[in-house]
């Protein structure tokens, strides 16, 4: 009898121990889930506050790895014709790198579903509709969409969990939704900034934006010890042009000059409309000899287009030690060109 009671007691103790262990596991899992949710919430706040598209994508990819636990995450851009191009990925580490993976766009692929507006695709390796050839374990595929339609696709896989987990897939969806809004906002912000930096008549940098780039170029030149040239361009007798032919024709002259300056500039040079009929060019990565060659060529190009202009140039740091001094030096050189008969160039 006592043996039976002892056995029953032992079974009860064993059952209680098993139940306690089960509750402890559940508690640990709940704590882990709570920590993950808090981490995801913090990550989405950072994503929503980010203003650069690539920085947003990088934060999204890192969130997929930690805290969500996927070893691989890839972002693909989608154009208006639904062309898909690999952009960035994270694979087995915290390093963001260019992605060269290709999504399967064949019939039946899960990619086609998300491009048609379905919320996501979720599956595992071996699925006929799998979006990539080398699926690792199970995957989640999400579209990032805005008012103009789908512009991106997020793909994640390589999770330690062996089977698809809907709660995790839902969290991937949530992060992707926040990212879509953040990217749309960042894109609109960049467009607004770009418009604010441009002159409405010519499309060149306006005075404020050009001044910012001049100060940046001065700082970069100091660090790199690489000289650059600052060139002022002024349309000769512009008031007479307006008086004789009208302001509409004067605007045409300014647009033609802007096009000529852009066409004659090298990659990396900065062109702006500074005020009225006054334009400016920053010529980077040169020495004094090359500067003289480029300014002479620019002056010749303008004359070839029948644009009568006077140019004044100065070189940093030879002619001045800061942006204001450089502008004053170029302005004096421009005055010398005007005094010498106009339609040419002078250096300080």
Residue 331 has pLDDT above 70, yes or no: yes
Residue 114 has pLDDT above 80, yes or no: yes
Least confident piece of the model among 98-107, 264-273, 302-311: 98-107
DSSP single-letter state for residue 165: -
Rounded CA gap, 93 and 74, in Å?
A: 13
Residue 7 has pLDDT above 80, yes or no: no
Res 162: pLDDT: 82
Q: What are phi and psi of 180, to 5 degrees?
A: -60, -45
- Which residues, including other chains, have CB under 8 Å from residue 181's CB and lie 6 or more apart? 48, 146
Res 23: pLDDT: 60
Cross-sheet strand order for the sheet of 70-78:
96-98, 84-91, 70-78, 149-159, 138-146, 120-124
Residue 34 has pLDDT above 60, yes or no: yes
Residue 166 has pLDDT above 80, yes or no: yes
Dihedral, 126, 127, 133, 134 alpha carbons, nearest 10: -50
Instruction: Grade residue 2 by pLDDT with cuts at 50, 70 and 90.
Output: low
Q: Which residues pair with 128 in a beta bridge?
A: none
Inter-residue contact 115 to 82 (CB < 8 Å): yes
Res 155: pLDDT: 97
Q: Which residue has the tokens 């001065």?
A: 218
Res 32: pLDDT: 66
Instruction: Grade residue 211 by pLDDT with cuts at 50, 70 and 90.
Output: very high
Residue 42 has pLDDT above 60, yes or no: yes
Res 243: pLDDT: 93
Res 121: pLDDT: 83
Domains and CATH numbers, the chain: 2-194 (3.30.450.40), 207-347 (3.30.70.270)
Average pLDDT of the residues in 5-33: 66
Inter-residue contact 310 to 344 (CB < 8 Å): yes
The model carries a pTM of 0.69
User: For the chain, what's the residue count?
Assistant: 348
Angle at 101 between CA 100 and CA 103, to 5 degrees: 135
Indicate the angle between helix axes 166-196 and 2-49, nearest 10 degrees.
Answer: 10
Q: Which residue has the tokens 């990032």?
A: 144
Instruction: Grade residue 231 by pLDDT with cuts at 50, 70 and 90.
Output: very high
Instruction: Grade residue 83 by pLDDT with cuts at 50, 70 and 90.
Output: confident
Q: Which residue has the tokens 């979720």?
A: 122
């Amino acid at each position: 009898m006592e043996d039976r009671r002892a056995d029953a007691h032992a079974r009860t103790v064993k059952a209680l121990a098993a139940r306690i262990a089960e509750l402890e596991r559940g508690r640990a899992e709940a704590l882990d889930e709570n920590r993950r949710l808090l981490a995801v919430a913090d990550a989405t706040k950072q994503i929503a506050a980010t203003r650069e598209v690539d920085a947003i994508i990088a934060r999204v990819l890192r969130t997929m790895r930690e805290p969500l636990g996927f070893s691989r995450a890839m972002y693909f851009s989608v154009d208006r014709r639904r062309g898909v191009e690999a952009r960035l990925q994270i694979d087995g580490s915290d390093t963001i790198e260019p992605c060269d993976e290709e999504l399967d766009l064949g019939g039946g692929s899960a990619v086609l579903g998300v491009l048609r507006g379905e919320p996501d695709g979720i599956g595992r390796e071996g699925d006929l509709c799998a979006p990539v050839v080398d699926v690792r374990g199970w995957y989640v595929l999400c579209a990032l969409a805005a008012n103009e339609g789908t512009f991106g696709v997020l793909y994640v896989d390589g999770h330690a969990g062996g089977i698809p987990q809907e709660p995790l897939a839902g969290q991937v969806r949530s992060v992707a939704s926040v990212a879509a809004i953040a990217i749309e906002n960042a894109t609109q912000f960049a467009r607004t900034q770009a418009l604010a930096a441009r002159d409405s008549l010519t499309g060149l940098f306006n005075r404020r934006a050009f001044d910012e780039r001049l100060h940046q170029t001065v700082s970069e030149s100091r660090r790199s010890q690489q000289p650059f040239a600052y060139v002022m361009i002024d349309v000769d007798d512009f008031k007479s042009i307006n008086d004789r032919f009208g302001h509409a024709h004067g605007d045409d002259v300014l647009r033609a000059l802007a096009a000529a300056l852009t066409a004659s500039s090298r990659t990396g040079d900065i062109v702006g409309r500074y005020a009225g009929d006054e334009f400016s060019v920053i010529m980077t990565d040169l020495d004094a000899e090359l500067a003289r060659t480029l300014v002479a060529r620019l002056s010749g190009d303008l004359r070839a287009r029948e644009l009568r202009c006077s140019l004044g140039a100065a070189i940093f740091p030879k002619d001045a030690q800061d942006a204001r001094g450089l502008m004053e030096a170029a302005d004096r050189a421009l005055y010398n060109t005007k005094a010498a008969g106009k339609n040419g160039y002078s250096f300080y």
